[in-house]
Amino acid sequence: MWTAHKARFIERYLYYFVLVTKHGTYIDGFAGPQQPDDPEMWTARRVLESEPRWFRHFYLFDSSPAQVAHLQALQQAQRPPDRTKKEPRRTIHVEQGDFNSLVGELLHSAPFSPREAVFCLHYLYGYARRPLLSKIASLYRVYPG
Ligand SMILES: C[S@@+](CC[C@H](N)C(=O)[O-])C[C@H]1O[C@@H](n2cnc3c(N)ncnc32)[C@H](O)[C@@H]1O
């Protein structure tokens, strides 16, 4: 039930999120497709292709080289911004690795300003929730979802 509807639910949530913020950064630590033959269930794809295209920055991670290849193909498939709709230029960063190790580096390198609205999807595989949330909270204002 959750798996089947998760991608659609997150896309809807972020639709309202971006209507409020008018911009944003999307971080997905486990971004490869759960079912490569069913792109409708792929959260990162749905968020990237959701309208309005106001998210400006994407950080997509996966530990599996095969999954990273899917992410790179998704990155290459993106159309350029439609200037008639005032869509911003986007950056899409794809990286292979263990997100539990890489998330600290990403947050400390602080590529986003304190005013940036950031949504981070994390599955908490093998990672204690509390240390991660307190790490994020120490760096940013957090509105837990
Ligand atoms: C359940 S799938 C993610 C589902 C995906 N977000 C979607 O919407 O279809 C889990 C993914 O996490 C990746 N993964 C597992 N452990 C990881 C880790 N420690 N760091 C990064 N990626 C990891 C797997 O390779 C796999 O692609």
Q: pLDDT by residue (tens digit) across 45-66?
A: 999 999 999 999 999 999 999 9
Q: Can you give the pTM of this predicted structure?
A: 0.89
CATH code for the domain of 71: 3.40.50.150
What's the token pair of residue 82? 């439609």
User: Per the domain annotation, does 10 fall within a domain?
Assistant: no
User: Per the domain annotation, does 55 fall within a domain?
Assistant: yes
Name the residue with the closest Cα to ligand 1, atom 13: 30
Q: Is the pLDDT of residue 100 over 70?
A: yes
User: Per the domain annotation, does 49 fall within a domain?
Assistant: yes
Ligand 1, CB within 6 Å, residue ranges: 7, 29-34, 41-43, 61-64, 67, 98-100, 125
Ligand 1 atom index nearest CA of 29: 21
Percent helix, strand and coil across the chain, each rounded to 5?
Answer: 45, 15, 40
CA distance linking residue 45 with residue 139, whole number of Å: 28
Q: Based on the structure, what is the number of domains in the chain?
A: 1
Q: What pLDDT sits at residue 109?
A: 81
Per the structure, the complete domain to which residue 65 belongs is given by 22-34+42-139
Ligand 1 atom index nearest CA of 32: 27
User: Per the domain annotation, does 99 fall within a domain?
Assistant: yes
> By the 8 A CB rule, do 31 and 60 touch?
yes
CA distance linking residue 24 with residue 15, whole number of Å: 11
76-94: per-residue pLDDT in tens? 999 999 999 989 999 999 9
